[in-house]
Amino acid sequence: MKIGIVCYPTFGGSGVVATELGIELSKRGHEIHFITYNQPVRLELLSNNVHYHEVNVPEYPLFHYQPYELALSSKLVDMVKLHKIEILHVHYAIPHAYAAYMAKKMLQEEGIYVPIVTTLHGTDITLVGSHPFYKPAVTFSINKSDAVTAVSSSLKEDTLRLFDIKNEIHVVPNFIDLEKYNHNFTDCQRGMMANDSEKIITHISNLRPVKRVQDVISVFYNIQKEIPAKLMFIGEGPEKENIELQCQELGILDKVIFFGRSNEIDKILCFSDLFLLPSQTESFGLAALEAMASGVPVISSNTGGIPEVNKQGVSGYLSDVGDIDDMTTNALHILSDDTRLKTFKENARSESLKFDLHAIVPQYEAIYEDTLTKCLVL
Ligand code: GMT
């Protein structure tokens, strides 16, 4: 199949999933065209099956806001015609599903039919999309898609609750390339990060308020009072200065390593003993799955789709949002006994196997085939 993929090219989860999906589909013989405003960060290798087409938005002083949707839909029209793309898979409803619908309509005028598969990722529904400013356009775009998928059952329920949806929503969970996370723990150069007696705690996110990064610091502060420990903070975002200040006030700056953005999280996770994800809301929690695939147990909140990934008492523990004490107790329970920690690490890795990309990517292929068949009949 010739598949056009539209996504955000940044470090956000939806862009990562879309990029990894495109790469895997290309390995399975499909021709993939990424259409976005920058080369996706995890798209290191372009090949004869993987192409990247940049969307440019010319600056014009009359425009207070530069019209990205317009430029994207025009680019989609051009790329579908030039490369004979058969199906468009858009990740994140805003504005991708909307722009794809416009492209589809323009192409129809020329007798070209290209169906649209929209994947909902979370914040496009729970935080941004349901805002009254966007809601009618998001509802319209979802209902006009030829197929809709959501990354968890929880996100599907949220979508049906928040929007008036007529379309069926298929749940296709996020996935992981387990090969990438297949470490032998003894090979990791753990000594570079901490001394032998210290446990390594990790958090990875875009440091937005929804991630509740202050809770990460509070839980870590409590842990390190009981057990020698270091905290690895990976990511950039608006809360960074606040948490640096919080660490300074608590007197733990020397125990926290800020890595900034990283394309090598597998290497950092390889050092880790515990992953913290206390988010306010999370449609899936890809970062938790990446940690689990590295054999890192997860202490998380019990919100959104996280319980579909992190299993209570098996791969880690889940607490109510903001319950720092419970998260601390659970973290100490895992970290205070090396045999128990080893069991949780093994469980985390084996729970992650459920999300092996070899099992999940064919679900997208089946949806593409089904959608193309239905559209041929119409
Ligand atoms: O987590 C973020 O803030 C980024 C956001 C995105 O859309 O890129 O992530 C969302 O999509 C990920 C991939 O499907 C999910 O794993 C995240 O849980 C989801 N984030 C939220 O729902 C807050």
pLDDT, averaged per 10 consecutive residues of the chain (378 residues), comes to: 94 88 95 92 78 92 89 98 98 94 97 96 82 90 96 97 95 93 65 88 95 98 97 93 95 94 83 96 96 97 98 98 98 97 97 97 98 82
pLDDT of res. 128: 81
pLDDT of res. 179: 86
Question: CATH 3.40.50.2000 in the chain, residues?
Answer: 2-175+357-377, 178-355
For ligand 1, atom 4, the nearest C-alpha belongs to 12
Please count the other Cβ atoms lying within 10 Å of the Cβ belonging to residue 247.
Answer: 20
Q: What is the 378 CA–ligand 1 centroid distance (Å)?
A: 34
pLDDT of res. 187: 53
For ligand 1, atom 23, the nearest C-alpha belongs to 282
pLDDT of res. 285: 96
> Do 352 and 176 form a contact (C-beta atoms < 8 A)?
yes
Mutate which of 8, 11, 19, 121 for ligand 1? The one with the most ligand atoms within 8 Å of its CB, which is: 121
Residues with CB under 6 A from ligand 1: 12-14, 17, 92, 121-123, 126, 151, 174, 206, 208, 210, 281-286
Long-range contact list for 322-329, CB < 8 A, 24+ apart? 322/212, 322/215, 322/278, 324/215, 324/218, 324/219, 324/222, 325/222, 327/215, 327/219, 327/276, 327/278, 327/299, 328/219, 328/222, 328/223
- Domain 178-355 sits in CATH at 3.40.50.2000
Nearest to 220 by CA among 284, 157, 276, 142: 276
pLDDT of res. 377: 66
> Is residue 229 helix, strand or coil?
strand
Overall fold of domain 2-175+357-377: Rossmann fold (3.40.50)
